[in-house]
Amino acid sequence: MATNENDDRPPTVRRDTPPTKAEAEQTSASSEAASAGVKEASMSRAEAPAPQPRETRHAHLFVTHLDPWSVMKNSFMLSIAIGVVMIVAVTVLWAMLSASGTLDSITSTVSDVAGDGPQAIDARELFSFSRVVGTTAILALLEVILVTALVTLFAFLYNLAVGITGGLQVTLTDDS
């Protein structure tokens, strides 16, 4: 360690390891302050000026075109999801009704009202699991086809109507 008796600065120590991040930041801050001729002022957190609130920025945009292919792909995926939810919901509902004995009660009530005979309605067959879920699957398939076609048609109609109406106005806000 080398010291100079005429110098007021603290002695420097030479190290073989690089300085830590905190030491590097302190050294850099003090050298910037010294080069600018500014003394470091210690200011408490309470004395520091409050940050100025930023104004929220708004952007007003108009949707003037919907790509029919993108609309069709998204509506197809959404309608498939809705179809799967329909099938699962009907399956769970049928299982709950079957486990609670509700389907047996309906069968006995229909048999009492309609009577037993060759023309009698067989409620067990009418509300069988395969028939209920099969009917739901057919309805879900029709839902997928119709929703996809109608939403795509509406995208074409929207693109035609934009010439008259100017489009849909959307406001985007940046509040960060």
CA 176 to chain centre: 19
Burial (Cβ within 10 Å: 0-12, 13-18, ≥19) of residue 133 = middle
Residue at 120 is within a domain: yes
For the chain, 176 residues long, give each residue's pLDDT as a single digit of tens.
454 555 555 554 455 555 566 565 665 555 555 555 544 556 666 677 777 777 788 888 888 999 999 999 999 999 999 999 999 999 999 999 889 988 888 878 877 787 777 676 777 788 889 999 999 999 999 999 999 999 999 999 999 999 899 888 899 888 76
Residue at 25 is within a domain: no
Tokens of 52: 């100025």
Range of the domain at 68: 59-174
Residue at 35 is within a domain: no
Residue at 7 is within a domain: no
Query: What distance in Å separates the CA atoms of residue 137 and residue 133, rounded to the nearest whole number?
Result: 6
Residue at 73 is within a domain: yes
Question: Number of folded domains in the chain?
Answer: 1
- Specify the pTM: 0.59
Residue at 88 is within a domain: yes
Residue pair 120/114 in contact by the 8 Å Cβ criterion: yes
Return the beta strands (E) in 14-143 as ranges: 57-63
